[in-house]
Amino acid sequence: MYCNWGGAGGWHDPGSFFLAALLVVMICLAAALLFRRKGFGGPAPACPACGGVVDPAFLRCPHCAAALKSHCPACSRIVESTWKYCPACRAEVNKV
């Protein structure tokens, strides 16, 4: 009926459980660090066309009028100008 993987160890061993927990905590920490670096403290976002400082909420560069974000033609959600596909409806966006 129930196979117990042939003996001691597995997830019931306190040692490997601790190791797994440690691994999960480390992954969470790394993710949090990455997120922090992306979200705050990093360099201000720059316009890809003129390099001017722009706000992440801007749809268009106030310096050179380059489109920073656009609207998906299918579902009209705001998409980044670097994206190829709309994450909401998978339509192709920013076609050249």
Nearer of residues 12 and 63 to Zn ion, judged by Cβ: 63
Minimum Å gap between C-beta 59 and Zn ion is 12
The CB-of-43 to Zn ion minimum distance in angstroms stands at 15
Q: In whole angstroms, give the CA distance from residue 92 to residue 83.
A: 9
Q: In sequence order, what are the beta bridge partners of 43?
A: none
Spatial separation of the C-alpha atoms in residues 68 and 79, rounded to whole Å: 9
Give alpha helix (H) positions in the chain: 14-39
Task: Name which of 23 and 64 has its Cβ closer to Zn ion.
Answer: 64
Binding site for Zn ion (CB under 5 A): 47, 49-50, 52, 61, 63-64, 66, 72, 74-75, 86, 88-89, 91
